[in-house]
Chains A and B, each alone.
Chain A
Amino acid sequence: MMKVNPALCNYCGACVGSCPVNCIFLNETRVEINEDKCVKCGFCIRACPLGAISADWWSK
């Protein structure tokens, strides 16, 4: 499961452009992750400058 913490998210799109399978969608107040397409690379988690994205398979 992936989670976007709305208290941290700045809706900047860093995660969207970094996602190699284009499974993140953003509008001005919402980030949606299509986990069926997700390949668990962790790019979005590391690309988020504020650390707003977490996942149960990501430990760092």
Chain B
Amino acid sequence: MKRYEYDVLVIGAGPGGSMAARFAARNGAKVLLVEKRPEIGVPVRCAEGISRDWLDIVEIKPDKRWIDQEIEGAKIYSPNEKSVITLSAEQAGNEVGFVINREYFDKYLASLAIEEGAEIWLKSPAINIIKEDGYVKGAIVRRFGEEVEVRAKVVIAADGFESQVARWAGLNTVLPERDIVSCIEYRMTNIDIDERFTHFYIGSCAPGGYLWIFPKGRNEANVGIGVALNRIKKRGEVKKYLDNFIEEHSNLKRGGILQIITGAVSVCRVPKHIVANGIMLVGDAARLIDPITGGGIANAAISGRWAGEIAAKCLEDPLEECLMEYQEKVKKKWERKHLRNWFVKEKLSELSDDTLNKLMEVVSQTDIKEISVRAILEAVQEKYPELVEEFEDLI
């Protein structure tokens, strides 16, 4: 078997992997980025909504080539669609700003890694890790059909929701069914929507998740749905939920489908361990998706940058300390936030359509400057005091 040696091996060329490769290479490491697919960014597995505020952190400049639509805010619809809450980009946080084109975006990010000197292999799935004396020492990669051994001082697993590399290494990224959301999305054309906003529909149309319409410009949009696994009883049910919704909405029904996108996301708390001997997990592979929004691009890119920078440091500093530094940094940023959002998600997914309708009726009629749990509860207490009891433990 052919053998290759690198300082850092990054598995998976999504936003997390490309940022890891870029910042490891910038800091002097000899980096290899491997991607199983024949083209970066394809096929898309994403609703493509991002905010603007984190791009500076990872030194990405907004570029017309990958921005399909600028977004002013988000509209959230009650189950009966009689109440609409409109959030400005600032209020809505994570998921508004741009609807991007991942096919271009991911390629752009990979080219930033290449510019810094990272090497990249396509059509090269990792099929196992190399483990010696309890340490991950690299991976077996099937490069254009030929199995080769890639040895590295540090492995960064950026293999997305599948999170296989982590589990080969013995890291527990197994999810309970309540924390898995199964998704399907249609890229639709010839539909009629307000393109200034992203649109979110909650309640029994998407149990344990939500339904979204993210405009892509030119009468196109990503129309998709996520349903929690513990609410799915039958085979292929997620698609039926989406098809039903489209059937019931004349502005969508008249449209046509250009692309069918599927996938799954985790909506969990930050795992206990995201590093092990010789390996770091980033992005979706580290289960760093926001449990409420399901957004993962920003967290992948940021954790990718940190993993890359710290991996490059490992070449000088003791490996153990570097790995722990990365884990601490990730936990400091997301552990509390994702814990809180996980609780809110659990609570929201239990509410009946009737309760959600009442809640959203009140919130949509109130001028709430800053959308916070407390501000919403105070407004609700005035009109439906009995509803607040259900939420008291969230305050």
Contact = CB atoms under 8 A, between A and B. Distances in A.
A13 B235 contact: no
A14 B264 contact: yes
Interface residues of B, number: 36
Interface string A19-56: 01010011110000000000000010111111101100
A8 to B, nearest CB: 8
A53 B182 CA distance: 14
Nearest to A26: B162
B379 interface: no
A17 B163 contact: yes
A46 to B, nearest CB: 4
Contact size range, A? 20 to 34
Interface stretch (B173-181, B211-219, B309-317, B357-365): B173-181
Nearest to A55: B235
Contact of B229 (A13, A46, A58, A60): A46
B236 A17 contact: no
A17 B266 contact: yes
A47 B229 CA distance: 6
Contacts of B164: 16, 22, 25
Contacts of B343: none
Nearest to A45: B235
Contact of A18 (B36, B45, B229, B262): B229
Contact of A51 (B142, B175, B235): B235
Contact of B161 (A14, A28, A49, A50): A14
Contacts of B199: none
Contacts of A10: 43, 260-262
Residue among A12, A17, A27, A43 with most chain B CB within 10 A: A17
Contacts of A13: 45, 160-162, 263-264
Contacts of B36: 27-28
B37 interface: yes
A51 B236 contact: yes
B222 to A, nearest CB: 14
Contacts of B168: 22
B232 interface: yes
A27 to B, nearest CB: 5
A53 B262 CA distance: 14
- Of all A-B residue pairs in the complex, the 4 with the closest CB atoms, nearest first, are A51-B236, A14-B264, A49-B184, A17-B161
Given A25-B164, A48-B235, A51-B235, 6 more contacts: A11-B43, A12-B45, A14-B262, A46-B233, A46-B234, A47-B264
Interface of B: 36-38, 43, 45, 125, 142, 160-164, 167-168, 174-175, 177, 180, 182-184, 229, 232-239, 260-264, 266
12 contacts: A10-B261, A12-B45, A14-B161, A14-B262, A14-B264, A17-B175, A17-B264, A17-B266, A27-B142, A28-B38, A46-B177, A50-B239
